[in-house]
Amino acid sequence: MECPEYARFNLDLFSKKFDDLDSEEAPKLPSVLTPERRSYVILHASMFSQWLDGLRSEGLADALAGRPTPGLKAAYGRKPPRKWADQKAAESALLDVLSAEKAFKREILSPAEAEKAVGKKRYVDNLAEHVAQGDPAPTLVPAESHKETIVPYAERFADLTAGDVSDLL
């Protein structure tokens, strides 16, 4: 984050002045953005996230090196998940206290693992019919995207009459 122009560019994109960050009261972001501003921020969210991640990394490095990080400090986060330090020794110790049926679990391959194991053709011919896959979640993409546009909810029901609605009830 040694490029002042990059920092200025990102701060300007937020369309707010941060000159008073040194004061006690931080600026309040607008509670309502125009649709154009909201879209602009969403379109640049990835860049903002990368920039903020870089600032966070720099801040942590500064805190760990004893350099100033006003209002922040370095601390330990959550511990990572537990894992066996020595798998073989753990298996042996576990078998001393549990039966093999209880010590080990057996799981079916995931659809992706099965496809990789048997090959695409055999997967499609023999296994694909047994796979359930949910619908993709709605997301925002640039207007020029090749992805199919979702019909807005209001347009889906625009042709309904009062009689149609009463039939649904």
- Domain boundary among the residues 96, 113, 130 is at 130
Verify that 14 and 47 share a domain, yes or no.
yes
Q: Token pair of 49, please?
A: 């996230």
Q: Confirm whether 156 is domain-assigned.
A: no
Are 45 and 31 in contact by the 8 Å Cβ rule? The answer is no
At residue 151, the pLDDT reads: 81
Q: Which residues of 52-69 are buried (b: 16+ CB within 10 A; e: fewer)?
A: eeeeeeebeeeeeeeeeb
Alpha-carbon gap, residue 118 to 113, rounded angstroms: 9
Q: Confirm whether 165 is domain-assigned.
A: no
Are 94 and 85 in contact by the 8 Å Cβ rule? The answer is no
Q: Confirm whether 14 is domain-assigned.
A: yes
At residue 92, the pLDDT reads: 93
At residue 13, the pLDDT reads: 64
Are 164 and 156 in contact by the 8 Å Cβ rule? The answer is no
Verify that 59 and 99 share a domain, yes or no.
no
Count how many domains the chain has.
Answer: 2
Verify that 54 and 92 share a domain, yes or no.
no
At residue 138, the pLDDT reads: 84
Query: pLDDT at residue 58 above 60?
Result: yes
Non-local CB neighbours of 11 within 8 Å, separated by 6+ positions:
18
Alpha-carbon gap, residue 50 to 10, rounded angstroms: 11
Q: Confirm whether 101 is domain-assigned.
A: yes
Q: Confirm whether 145 is domain-assigned.
A: no
Q: Which of 71, 112, 105 is nearest to 91 (CA)?
A: 105
Query: pLDDT at residue 19 above 90?
Result: no
At residue 28, the pLDDT reads: 52
Q: Confirm whether 12 is domain-assigned.
A: yes
Verify that 60 and 8 share a domain, yes or no.
yes
Write down the pTM of the prediction. 0.53
Q: Confirm whether 19 is domain-assigned.
A: yes
At residue 129, the pLDDT reads: 93
Q: List the domain range (segments joined by +) for residue 45.
A: 4-64
Verify that 14 and 54 share a domain, yes or no.
yes
At residue 88, the pLDDT reads: 94
Q: Measured in whole angstroms, how far is the alpha carbon of residue 132 from the centre of its chain?
A: 23
Question: What's the mean pLDDT in 57-62?
Answer: 92
Task: Provide the pLDDT confidence category of residue 121 given band limits of 50, 70 and 90.
Answer: very high
At residue 6, the pLDDT reads: 72
